[in-house]
C-alpha cells in the first residue's frame, strides 16, 4: 500500500531579507518509496522547497506533513532524524571523521547508538581503510567530505533523504562514488524515499523516477 | 590632612597641557587638534552638567529624584550598549535595557542592602556612583557578548543548520556559540582583575586615597566593587544572551538570523 510520507501543503515563504516571495503556494506530495527529482532554473525555489520540507525555514502560510501529521515545535528534532536534509556544501565539524559521523548520536533526540562497524563499511565506498575514521575531517577532499556528510545522515537511518544539489561541486568520479553510496541506503528498504534537486539532467534520470518542475516558487509541471 | 580640593583656576592648568598637545598636533600636521578640542570640551560640559545634577540631587537627598536619575542612567546604558553592537536584530534595545537593568540593579541592591548599608539606604552619594560603575562595566560586557553571539550565529549558520538537520534542538545546535560569546564578554573584566594593583591603582581606589581614606579601607572597597562588577557582567551577559537566543531561534528549532 502506498501512502504520502511527506507533503508540503500550500507552502508560501518570503525571503527574510528581501521580502521576495520564494515559495508561492507550493504543494508537493511524495509517497513512501518514491524517488523524486526536483528541477528548475536557479532561484525557482527548489532549495527553499527542500529546506521547508526539513522545517529549516519558517513558512508564512501552509504546512509540512510527515506521515499525515503536521510537524511543529518540539516534534521537529525527532522529525528531522526521519527526514534528513543534506546541503550542497558539506558542513563538517573540526575533529576526526568518527567525531563527525557519530555527532547525531550526541543529541537528545537520538534513539539508537553509533555503530562503528556500519560506519566503516559505508565509508569503504571511498576506497579507504578503517583508518579514515581517525583522520582529521578537514584534510579530506571536497568529494570525500560530501560522502562523509552522507554517511553521517545514513547512520541515523532516516525514512526520507532530501538532497540539495549534493554533487554540484564534485567531479565525475566523486559524483559516481556519492551516487553509489546513496544507492546503498535507498536499495536497503523499498519504503525509503528521496528528493533530489539537481541541474544535471542525467543525474535526475539516473537517480529518480518522478520529475517535478518548479518555476518562480511554484510547482509547474509533474 | 591637606585640603586637596581644586579651584577652577587649578583645573585650567591641566587644560593648558592639552592646549600644548593641540599645538604640537598642528605643528606636526597630525590632524588631531579639532578632535582633541571637541572631545575635551564635550567631556568638560558633560561632567559639569553631571556635577550640577548631582549637586541638586545630593542636596535634596529624597527618594524620588534619586530613583529617576538611576532609571535614566540605566536606560542610557541600555541604549549605548546597542550603539557598540554591529550585528543587531529588531528588538535588541529591549534586550540590552532589560539585561543591564536586571543585573545592575540586583547587584547594586545587594551592595547597598548587605555590604555598604548607608543611612538612609538610598543615600545618593553611595547609590549613584556605585550604580554608575556597575552600569558602565555591565554594558561593555553585554555589548561584547551580543555582538559576538550574533556574529557567530551568522558566520556559523551552515554548521548550526547541519546540526539542526540531524536532529539537534535549537539549544544543542547553538550552545557552543553561546559559550564562546559568554567567554568573550568576560575576558576584559578577568584581565582587569588579574592586573589590578600591578599596573595601576584603580580609579575608585585612587579617589578614596585622595579623599584621605586609609589604604586598607580603600583596598577593601576596591576588592568588593570588583567582585560585584564581575557578578553584574556575568549576570547581564547571560540574560542578554538568553534573550537574544529566544529572538534568533524559533520554537520550531530554526535559526532566524537575517
Lowest mean pLDDT among A175-184, A187-196, B3-12, B134-143: B3-12
Alpha-carbon radius of gyration of chain A? 17
Q: Quick one: angle between helices B170-195 and B124-155, nearest 10?
A: 130
What are B115-136's pLDDT values in tens digits? 999 989 999 999 999 999 999 9
Select the residue of A73, A76, A84 nearest B166 (Cβ to Cβ).
A84
Residue A148 CB neighbour total at 10 angstroms? 25
**Which of A73, A93, A109 lies nearest to residue B252, judging by beta carbons?**
A73
Q: How confident is the model at residue B84 (pLDDT cuts 50, 70, 90)?
A: confident
Instruction: Dump pLDDT digits (tens) for B94-115.
Output: 999 999 999 999 999 999 999 9
- Split at pLDDT 50, 70, 90, the class of B31 is confident
The pLDDT assigned to B29 comes to 86
Query: What is residue B243's predicted lDDT score, i.e. its pLDDT?
Result: 98
Instruction: Determine contact: B258 vs chain A, CB below 8 A.
Output: yes
The answer for B212, left when phi > 0, alpha when psi is -120 to 50, beta otherwise, is: left
Q: Does the distance separating the beta carbons of A17 and B254 come in below 8 Å?
A: no
From A126's Cα to the closest Cα of chain B, the distance in A is: 22
**Three-state DSSP class for B44?**
helix
Residue A1 in this model has a pLDDT that exceeds 60: no
Task: Return all residues near B206 (Cβ < 8 A) that are at least 6 apart.
Answer: none
For A39-78, the pLDDT digits (tens) are: 999 999 999 999 999 999 998 899 999 999 999 999 999 9
C-beta of residue A216 within 8 angstroms of C-beta of residue A23: no
Cis peptide upstream of residue A121 (ω within 30 degrees of 0): no
**pLDDT band per the 50, 70, 90 thresholds, residue B77:** very high
pLDDT of residue A57: 94
Confirm or reject contact between B254 and chain A (CB < 8 A).
Answer: yes
Length, in residues, of chain B: 258
**Per-residue model confidence (pLDDT) at position A62:** 93
Under an 8 A CB cutoff, do B167 and A55 touch? no
Average pLDDT over residues B172-179: 98
Q: Do B169 and A77 touch (CB under 8 A)?
A: yes
Cβ atoms of A103 and A152 closer than 8 Å: yes
More confident residue, B237 or A130: B237
3-state secondary structure of A17: coil
- Confidence (pLDDT) at B124: 92
Cα torsion angle, A65, A68, A70, A74, sign: negative
Average confidence (pLDDT) over B84-95 = 92
How high is the pLDDT of residue A131? 78
What is the average per-residue pLDDT within B161-190?
Answer: 97
- The Cα–Cα gap between A157 and A159 comes to 7
pLDDT at B36: 86
Instruction: For residue A65, give the C-alpha cell.
Output: 506533513
CA-based torsion, A117, A118, A119, A122: positive or negative:
positive
Helix boundaries (H) for chain B: 8-27, 33-60, 63-83, 92-110, 124-155, 157-165, 170-195, 203-210, 215-248
Q: What is the pLDDT of residue A3?
A: 82
Nearest CA in chain A to B254: A56
B162:A87 CB<8 A: yes
Residue A52 has which C-alpha cell? 521547508
- For residues A24 and A16, give the distance between their C-alpha atoms in angstroms, rounded to a whole number: 15
Please tell me which of the candidates B161, B166, B169 has its beta carbon nearest to residue A104: B166
Continuous segment of H or E residues that includes residue A158 = none
Q: What is the pLDDT of residue A130?
A: 66
In this structure, the number of other CB atoms found within 10 A of the CB of residue A196 comes to 28
Is the CB of residue A146 less than 8 Å from the CB of residue A139? no
- Confidence check: pLDDT of A222 > 90: no
Q: At residue B1, does pLDDT exceed 60?
A: no
Residues B191-248 have pLDDT tens digits of 999 888 887 788 889 999 999 999 999 999 999 999 999 999 999 999 999 999 999 9
Query: Which residue out of B90, B157, B163, B165 would a mutagenesis test of the A interface target, given it has the greatest number of A Cβ atoms within 10 Å?
Result: B165
Burial class (CB in 10 A: 0-12, 13-18, 19+), B244: buried
pLDDT at A93: 96
Amino acid at each position: 500500500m502506498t501512502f504520502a510520507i511527506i507533503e508540503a501543503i500550500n507552502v508560501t515563504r518570503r525571503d527574510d531579507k528581501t521580502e521576495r516571495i520564494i515559495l508561492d503556494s507550493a504543494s508537493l506530495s511524495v509517497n513512501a518509496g518514491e524517488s523524486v527529482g526536483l528541477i528548475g532554473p536557479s532561484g525557482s525555489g527548489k532549495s527553499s522547497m527542500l529546506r521547508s520540507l526539513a522545517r529549516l525555514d519558517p513558512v508564512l502560510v501552509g504546512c509540512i506533513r510527515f506521515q499525515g501529521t503536521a510537524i511543529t515545535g518540539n516534534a521537529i528534532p525527532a522529525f528531522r532524524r526521519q527526514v534528513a536534509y543534506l546541503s550542497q556544501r558539506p558542513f563538517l565539524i573540526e575533529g576526526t571523521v568518527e567525531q563527525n559521523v557519530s555527532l547525531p548520536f550526541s543529541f537528545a533526540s537520538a534513539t539508537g547508538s553509533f555503530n562503528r562497524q556500519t560506519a566503516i563499511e559505508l565509508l569503504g565506498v571511498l576506497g579507504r581503510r578503517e583508518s579514515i575514521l581517525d583522520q582529521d575531517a578537514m584534510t579530506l577532499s571536497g568529494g570525500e567530505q560530501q560522502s562523509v556528510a552522507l554517511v553521517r545522515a545514513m547512520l541515523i537511518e532516516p525514512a526520507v533523504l532530501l538532497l540539495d544539489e549534493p554533487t554540484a561541486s564534485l567531479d565525475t568520479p566523486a559524483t559516481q562514488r556519492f551516487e553509489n553510496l546513496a544507492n546503498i541506503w535507498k536499495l536497503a528498504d523499498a519504503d525509503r524515499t528521496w528528493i533530489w534537486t539537481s541541474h544535471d539532467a542525467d543525474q535526475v534520470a539516473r537517480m529518480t523516477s518522478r520529475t517535478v518542475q518548479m518555476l518562480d516558487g511554484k510547482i509547474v509541471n509533474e | 590632612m591637606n585640603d586637596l580640593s581644586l579651584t577652577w583656576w587649578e583645573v585650567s592648568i591641566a587644560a593648558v597641557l592639552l592646549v600644548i598637545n593641540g599645538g604640537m598636533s598642528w605643528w606636526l600636521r597630525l590632524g588631531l587638534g579639532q578632535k582633541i578640542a571637541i572631545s575635551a570640551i564635550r567631556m568638560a560640559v558633560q561632567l559639569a552638567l553631571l556635577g550640577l545634577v548631582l549637586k541638586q540631587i545630593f542636596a535634596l537627598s529624597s527618594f524620588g529624584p534619586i530613583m529617576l536619575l538611576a532609571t535614566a542612567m540605566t536606560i542610557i546604558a541600555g541604549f549605548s550598549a546597542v550603539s557598540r553592537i554591529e550585528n543587531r536584530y529588531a528588538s535588541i534595545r529591549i534586550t540590552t535595557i532589560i539585561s543591564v537593568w536586571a543585573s545592575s540593579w540586583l547587584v547594586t541592591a545587594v551592595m547597598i542592602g548587605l555590604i555598604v548599608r548607608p543611612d538612609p539606604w538610598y543615600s545618593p552619594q553611595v547609590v549613584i556612583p556605585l550604580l554608575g560603575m556597575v552600569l558602565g562595566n555591565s554594558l561593555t560586557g553585554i555589548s561584547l557578548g551580543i555582538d559576538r553571539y550574533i556574529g557567530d550565529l551568522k558566520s556559523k549558520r551552515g554548521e548550526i543548520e547541519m546540526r539542526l538537520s540531524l536532529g539537534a534542538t535549537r539549544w544543542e545546535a547553538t550552545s557552543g556559540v553561546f559559550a564562546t560569546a559568554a567567554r568573550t564578554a568576560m575576558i576584559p573584566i578577568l584581565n582587569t582583575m588579574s592586573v589590578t594593583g600591578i599596573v595601576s591603582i584603580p580609579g575608585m581606589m585612587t579617589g578614596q586615597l585622595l579623599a584621605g581614606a586609609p589604604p586598607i579601607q580603600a583596598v577593601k572597597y576596591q576588592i568588593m566593587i570588583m567582585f560585584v562588577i564581575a557578578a553584574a557582567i556575568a549576570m547581564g551577559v547571560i540574560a542578554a544572551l538568553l534573550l537574544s537566543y529566544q529572538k534568533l531561534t524559533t520554537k520550531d528549532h530554526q535559526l532566524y538570523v537575517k
